[in-house]
């Protein structure tokens, strides 16, 4: 899968297919489809009868294996070796199963057999590491050794978010490929083509990343609107507000409040919000009441809370403590 904002980058890379370095670091902000791009590039490089523009044909044996997830010369090192099952509850059999957040050293060491044998199709051997920001220290060290002694015919594709946590030692061994976001106008028209209503709003809420905008639009349950509508009204109580907030997962409602706080700061400093474009009037009113230093302190409080927000011990208490500073601004 390739998105319109990636086609020229793809052409640049594929036209240099014979001269690619042994490791590419595909970087850009979140929500741009960088992993999809890396997979598309890998499939095109492994395809045995590529099209004129270098794109994978989708029909040769290599493409069929790739699409079925078992091309013998391709490995994807990710958070989970097995495919994630979205329907599976996080808790089962009385135990709490933690969603994986790291790529472990075992996942990287698991590549050694794959690297030791010759390629099956006499072509490239490709290893995709995504999200590379999730490599833990030991895994990064193991990978570093592989990058320091590159094998001929082997290409590493690392996918990382800008500002991610990837170690500088790894970064310096890779050639950087920057995926740029499309212009706002291009993103909006693409979102409209995908059937997203209010593309401008969702693009703003997503901070300009089109795939994130699509995800937000698809998952929009109206809870953000309900929470912010209550927040803007002076007659809603703290307990009503926190009740509304905790209908959502903690990271989500804190995220909306963080954007709200950011919008209030922007409203004060530059005169318009950045994210919640549909609450411009309420933000303007509230920004008029708010003190900049209080806002910055509230932003800090929210940022800290979001870092720890995955499993709050008492969601309601957390919501109340994070909402109080905002009530004084109404």
Where along the sequence are the contacts to Zn ion (CB under 5 A)? 47, 56-57, 60, 63
Q: How far is the CB of 143 from Zn ion (least distance, A)?
A: 28
Q: How far is the CB of 57 from Zn ion (least distance, A)?
A: 4
CA angle 199, 204, 207 (to 5 degrees): 125
Beta strands 175-178 and 125-129, pairing class: unpaired
- Adjacency order of strands within the sheet including 23-28: 74-77, 125-129, 154-161, 23-28, 175-178
Nearer CB in complex with Zn ion: 124/147: 124
Cβ contacts of 127 within 8 Å, gap of 6 or more: 74, 75, 76, 77, 111, 114, 154, 155, 156, 157
Q: How far is the CB of 26 from Zn ion (least distance, A)?
A: 21
Q: How far is the CB of 21 from Zn ion (least distance, A)?
A: 23
Q: How far is the CB of 75 from Zn ion (least distance, A)?
A: 19
Nearest 10 degrees: CA dihedral of 247, 251, 253, 257?
160
Q: How far is the CB of 51 from Zn ion (least distance, A)?
A: 9
Give Cα 317 to chain centroid, integer Å: 29
Nearer CB in complex with Zn ion: 60/285: 60
Supply 235's token pair.
């007659």
- Residue 245 main-chain phi, psi, to 5 deg: -60, -50
The closest alpha carbon to 135, from 169, 177, 175, belongs to: 169
Cβ–Cβ < 8 Å for 27, 165: no
Q: How far is the CB of 67 from Zn ion (least distance, A)?
A: 9
Q: How far apart are CA 283 and CA 261, in angstroms?
A: 9
Nearer CB in complex with Zn ion: 32/63: 63
């Amino acid at each position: 899968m390739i998105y319109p904002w990636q086609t020229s980058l793809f052409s640049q890379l594929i036209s240099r297919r014979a001269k690619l370095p042994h490791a590419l670091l595909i970087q850009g902000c979140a929500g741009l489809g960088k992993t999809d791009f890396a997979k598309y590039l890998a499939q095109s490089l492994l395809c045995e009868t590529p099209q004129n523009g270098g794109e994978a044909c989708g029909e040769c044996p290599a493409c069929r294996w790739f699409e079925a997830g078992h091309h013998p010369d391709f490995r994807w090192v990710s958070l989970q070796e097995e495919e994630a099952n979205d329907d599976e509850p996080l808790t089962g059999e009385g135990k709490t199963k933690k969603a994986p957040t790291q790529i472990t050293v075992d996942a990287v060491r698991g590549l050694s057999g794959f690297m030791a044998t010759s390629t099956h199709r006499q072509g490239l051997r490709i290893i995709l590491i995504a999200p590379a920001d999730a490599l833990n220290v030991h895994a990064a060290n193991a990978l570093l050794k592989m990058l320091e002694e590159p094998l001929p015919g082997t290409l590493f594709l690392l996918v990382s978010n800008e500002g991610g946590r990837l170690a500088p030692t790894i970064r310096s061994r890779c050639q950087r490929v920057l995926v740029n976001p499309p212009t706002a106008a291009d993103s909006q028209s693409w979102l409209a083509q995908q059937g997203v209503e209010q593309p401008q709003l969702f693009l703003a809420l997503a901070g300009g990343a089109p795939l994130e905008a699509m995800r937000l639009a698809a998952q929009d349950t109206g809870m953000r609107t309900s929470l912010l509508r209550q927040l803007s009204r002076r007659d809603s109580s703290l307990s009503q507000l926190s009740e509304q907030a905790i209908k959502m997962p903690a990271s989500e409602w804190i995220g909306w409040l963080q954007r709200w706080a950011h919008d209030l700061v922007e409203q004060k400093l530059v005169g318009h919000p950045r994210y919640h474009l549909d609450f411009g009037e309420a933000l303007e009113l509230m920004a008029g009441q708010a003190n900049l230093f209080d806002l910055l302190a509230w932003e800090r409080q929210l940022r800290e809370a979001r870092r720890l927000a995955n499993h709050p011990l008492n969601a309601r208490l957390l919501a109340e403590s994070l909402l109080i500073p905002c009530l004084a601004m109404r």
